[in-house]
A and B are shown apart, each in its own frame.
Chain A
């Protein structure tokens, strides 16, 4: 079956850097997404990796190693508003065409002063 693991909770200090890891064991992999979700709201897209390496977008960077089944999301210059749940989602091919996302359990990040 599909297995996606993330730490349940993390705490970091405002202005610091935090790395959220995600490991996966899936079949039919065709990309990995990171989403941010504030309580009671829908997820918002942060990043997408399909090839190995680092993708940087402002304060957020995401890394992927397909051979290791590993990704991380790096948040720099943390702000209080970054307190949210961060969801790792793997895109999988669907039999018959197309793809679908399978989500990890999410990492609840708390940013403190």
Chain B
């Protein structure tokens, strides 16, 4: 099946620093990857859609200068949280799109728990 990995699985950083999270599709090529954020006991909120070789498309209310997304290859997308603040502490999940039947399915990475102190 389609496997998506994320690294790191958890990270603690100090306020004001930057953190990079990697998302890889291990056994397939993903032209499109998605980044989500999930706060405790809430559902997933789409942050941005990342297409290989082009700029990411951000959802309304998501600061593109704060959450930098780079989709440099068909198997790797990165999310960098710049100048992190405690309110950025959350569970960040990426997913990669795979074509199946008449539409697409999305497979999720295991998530990265970010804690900003």
Question: Do A33 and B105 touch (CB < 8 A)?
Answer: yes
- Which residues 86-113 of A sit at the B interface, judged by CB distance below 8 A? 87, 91, 94, 98-106
Question: Do B111 and A99 touch (CB < 8 A)?
Answer: no
- Residues of A within 8 Å of B110, CB to CB, are 41-42
A16 to chain B, nearest CB (A): 25
- Residues of A within 8 Å of B93, CB to CB, are 42-43
A47 to chain B, nearest CB (A): 10
- Name A50's contact: one of B42, B43, B91, B103 (CB within 8 Å): B103
Q: How many residues on A have C-beta within 8 angstroms of the other chain's C-beta atoms?
A: 24
Question: Do A98 and B49 touch (CB < 8 A)?
Answer: yes
- Residues of B within 8 Å of A98, CB to CB, are 32, 49, 51, 97
Q: How many residues on B have C-beta within 8 angstroms of the other chain's C-beta atoms?
A: 27
- Which residues 41-56 of B sit at the A interface, judged by CB distance below 8 A? 42-46, 49, 51
Q: A50-B103, A100-B34 are in contact. Are A87 and B111 (CB under 8 A)?
A: no
- Residues of B within 8 Å of A87, CB to CB, are 43-44
- Which residues 30-46 of B sit at the A interface, judged by CB distance below 8 A? 32, 34, 42-46
- Residues of A within 8 Å of B32, CB to CB, are 98
Question: Do A43 and B103 touch (CB < 8 A)?
Answer: no
- Name B43's contact: one of A41, A99, A100, A103 (CB within 8 Å): A103
User: Interface on B for A, CB 8 Å cutoff?
Assistant: 32, 34, 42-46, 49, 51, 57, 91, 93, 95, 97, 100-111, 113
User: Interface on A for B, CB 8 Å cutoff?
Assistant: 30-31, 33, 35, 40-45, 48, 50, 87, 91, 94, 98-106
